[in-house]
Structure 1
Amino acid sequence: MSLPYSSAPAETDDLAAGRPLPHLEQDRWMRPYRPGPWRVATAALALMLASYLMFAALIMAAAADTQGAGVCLLAALLVIAAALRLLRVGVWVSGKGLRQTSYFSTVTVPWRKVASVRTAQQPVRVLGLPRSVQGQALIISRKGGEPLRPQLTDHNADFLGRVDAFDMAADAIEGWAAELR
């Protein structure tokens, strides 16, 4: 039973009819999970370092040392770019396909070329460091090719200590794959 002055029935009617809502664009790349606290904290510390570098550049410019100011400003811009790239790392989905973004490269696989998306128990790296432990990873297999390197694990910067969040993110990506393959 709907309330007489509620706008909810229009949205639920669209969902029941199978029509996508205006805010559910499937052609836009989106990450089906939030960046984790380790990734956000690292980026925040990097941005704080960049602010100190920009302040140093301002002081050097005021002291008429333009070369030193330029070096500090360039270093600050590089740190900002590195922090923003760190925040973009992860698995992204859209109606077009699945995109796996690592720090230095991006691999995009159209849904028609995705063979399977599943979770598996295997050795995974802790925060991307060389140390490996037994954990879960999201395995993305391509048709006629090798599987992608596991980007989404329960020990990466997004899900370390948040196993439930990893399960929800893996289920969401598996759901996208099941619906659009």
Structure 2
Amino acid sequence: MPLPFLTADRVFEAADDVPLPYDDRDRWRRPYRPGPWRVAAAALSLLLASFVLFAAVIIAVTAELTSAAVVFGLALLVIAGALRLLRMGVWVSPRGLRHVGFLTTRTASWAQVFAVRTVQQPVRWLGLPRTVQGQALLLVRQGQSADGAPPLMTTHNADFLGRAEAFDRAADSVEAWAEEHQAH
């Protein structure tokens, strides 16, 4: 079974002469693979969901169906959370740039984008309150200063912790999308 989200880095490395390798230009795509921390958290969530589903089956056989339905609903929430966790990140298309968070999604058309740049600044470590020195990719919208821009991705988030080269490739790819579509 092909897993296209695992081949993003290999496609980027294989196409040295093409600055933006993609098949269908109109689809939203993440220009990098989800990181190992994000995939591990989602896998553990799905493992927990399988135990909760098993518990729902046992409750359905031995107790009331309403109790089993509540536990089954809880398992569906855990599965939905794991899938949302895997969708988090920066997505690009010819229409604009999309930053998908766990609970929110912000989309900016390329006409609204003033600049996409990488800066050295204190960043949150895995989204926790602790900050460390790192790099962040910032989206600066028209009429907004770079100081107030929230980072799209950092070297210490769940996708790039311990993978500085992958952050550089992903940031370069997003910046290339911005340069290509701001020119039009």
TM-score (norm 2): 0.84
Matches within 5 A, 1:50-65: 50-65=49-64
How many angstroms apart in 2 are the aligned matches of 1:144 and 1:45?
A: 42
How many angstroms apart in 2 are the aligned matches of 1:66 and 1:142?
A: 52
Matches within 5 A, 1:97-116: 97-116=96-115
How many angstroms apart in 2 are the aligned matches of 1:145 and 1:106?
A: 19
Question: Which residue of structure 2 aligns with residue 135 of structure 1?
Answer: 134
How many angstroms apart in 2 are the aligned matches of 1:77 and 1:150?
A: 31
RMSD: 1.9
Q: What is the CA distance between 1:145 and its match in structure 2?
A: 3.3
For this pair of structures, how many residues does the alignment match? 163
Task: Extract structure 1 runs of 4+ deviating beyond 6 A.
Answer: none
Larger radius of gyration: 1
Change (3 A) 1:161 1:45: same
SS in 1 for 2:57: helix
Larger mean Cα displacement after TM superposition, 66-75 or 39-48 = 66-75
Change (3 A) 1:59 1:84: same
Larger mean Cα displacement after TM superposition, 79-88 or 155-164 = 79-88
Return 5+ residue gaps in structure 1 as ranges: 1-17
Question: Which residue of structure 2 aligns with residue 91 of structure 1?
Answer: 90
Quick one: which amino acid aligns to residue 174 of structure 2?
I
Question: Which residue of structure 1 aligns with residue 176 of structure 2?
Answer: 175
SS in 1 for 2:120: strand
Quick one: which amino acid aligns to residue 73 of structure 2?
L
TM-score (norm 1): 0.85
Q: Give me the identity figure in percent.
A: 58
Question: Which residue of structure 2 aligns with residue 8 of structure 1?
Answer: none
Q: What is the CA distance between 1:148 and its match in structure 2?
A: 4.0
1:44 partnered with 2:43: yes
Per-residue CA shift, 1:84-128, capped at 9, x if unaligned?
A: 111111000000000011111111101111100110000000000
Quick one: which amino acid aligns to residue 31 of structure 1?
R
* Cα contact 2:96–2:108 (8 A) shared by 1: yes
SS in 2 for 1:112: coil
* Cα contact 2:139–2:152 (8 A) shared by 1: no
Question: Which residue of structure 1 aligns with residue 120 of structure 2?
Answer: 121
